Amino acid sequence: MSSYYLNKKTDTNPGNNNEIHVEGCKRMPSIENRVYLGVFNNGVEAKNYAKSIGYSKADGCYLCSPEAHEE
């Protein structure tokens, strides 16, 4: 299980999504631009949770959460 964070900014990736990152990813957003999602078994669970709390454009980071990356 890993800790997951969501990037509040959508303009930092080509798909304009709220990227989800595993703690320690080299593409982690700055502290002021991230939301702690919690501890999950995988990026798909973290993405589903992010969508359930209103981040409809949530998508996994292609580096650290490829299983949840769509765009």
User: Model confidence over 39-65: pLDDT tens digits?
Assistant: 999 999 999 999 999 999 999 999 999
Q: Is 71 inside any structural domain?
A: no
Q: Is 10 inside any structural domain?
A: yes
Instruction: Provide the number of structural domains found in the chain.
Output: 1
> Is the pTM for the entire model greater than 0.85?
yes
Distances, alpha carbon 44 to alpha carbons 32, 41, 69, in Å: 24, 8, 9
pLDDT for 4 equals: 98
CB 21 within 8 A of CB 64: yes
Q: Is 44 inside any structural domain?
A: yes
Confidence of residue 2 (pLDDT cuts 50, 70, 90): very high
User: What are 64's two structure tokens?
Assistant: 């650290």
User: Residue 16 belongs to what domain range?
Assistant: 2-66
Contacts of 19 (CB under 8 A, 6+ apart): 6, 7, 12, 13, 27, 29, 59, 60, 61
